[in-house]
C-alpha cells in the first residue's frame, strides 16, 4: 500500500492534460476543501475528483473485481472509501460547490470525457 500514490497518478495527469486544452487556471489538491479535490476551479466553484475504479468501488469491470486474498479487508476498505467519498461530496454541495467525479475507465473514451469536462466547466448540470 505504501507504493500506491494519492496524487499525480496517471489518470489524474491524463485528465489534467485534457483540461489544459479546455481551460487552464485550476489548482491542485486544495487542502482547505473537504476531500482535498484533485483539481479545483475556484472561481467556477468546481471540484474534480479523479478516482481509480478499484479503490473507489466503481461499477465497471475493473471496479467490480474482488481480490481473492484478504477479501473481507478489501470489501470493508472499499466500502469505507465509498462512504468517505459520498460524505465529501455532500459537504462540498453544502458549501455551494459543484463536483465532478471522473473514474479511470472514463479515460478510454477521450471524446466523451472531453465533452463532460467542457460541460462541467460551462456550468451545465453534471450527471
pLDDT band at 108 (very low <50, low <70, confident <90, very high): very high
DSSP-derived secondary structure letter, 68? S
pLDDT for res 124: 62
Distance CA 122, CA 127 (A): 14
**CATH code given to domain 10-122:** 3.40.960.10
pLDDT for res 51: 94
Angle at 11 between CA 105 and CA 66, to 5 degrees: 50
Average pLDDT of the segment spanning 72-87? 95
> Could you report the per-residue pLDDT of 59-78, keeping only the tens digit for each?
888 878 888 899 999 999 99
> Could you report the per-residue pLDDT of 13-71, keeping only the tens digit for each?
999 999 999 998 999 999 999 999 999 999 999 999 999 999 898 988 887 888 889 99
Q: 102 is written with which cell numbers?
A: 471522473
Domain ranges of the chain: 10-122
* Residues across the chain: 127
* List of long-range contacts for 111-120, beta carbons under 8 Å, 24+ apart: 113/15, 113/18, 114/18, 114/21, 114/22, 117/15, 117/18, 117/19, 117/22, 118/22, 120/46, 120/48
Amino acid at each position: 500500500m505504501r507504493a500506491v500514490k494519492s496524487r499525480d497518478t496517471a489518470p489524474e495527469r491524463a485528465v489534467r492534460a485534457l483540461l489544459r486544452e479546455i481551460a487552464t487556471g485550476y489548482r491542485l489538491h486544495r487542502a482547505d476543501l473537504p476531500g482535498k479535490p484533485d483539481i479545483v476551479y475556484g472561481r467556477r466553484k468546481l471540484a474534480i475528483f479523479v478516482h481509480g475504479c478499484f479503490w473507489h468501488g466503481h461499477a465497471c469491470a475493473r471496479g467490480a473485481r474482488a481480490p481473492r486474498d484478504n477479501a473481507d479487508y478489501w470489501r470493508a476498505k472499499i466500502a469505507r472509501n465509498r462512504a468517505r467519498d459520498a460524505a465529501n461530496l455532500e459537504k462540498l454541495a453544502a458549501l455551494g460547490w459543484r463536483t465532478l467525479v471522473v473514474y479511470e475507465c472514463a479515460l478510454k473514451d477521450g471524446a466523451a470525457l472531453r465533452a463532460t469536462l467542457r460541460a462541467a466547466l460551462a456550468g451545465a448540470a453534471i450527471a
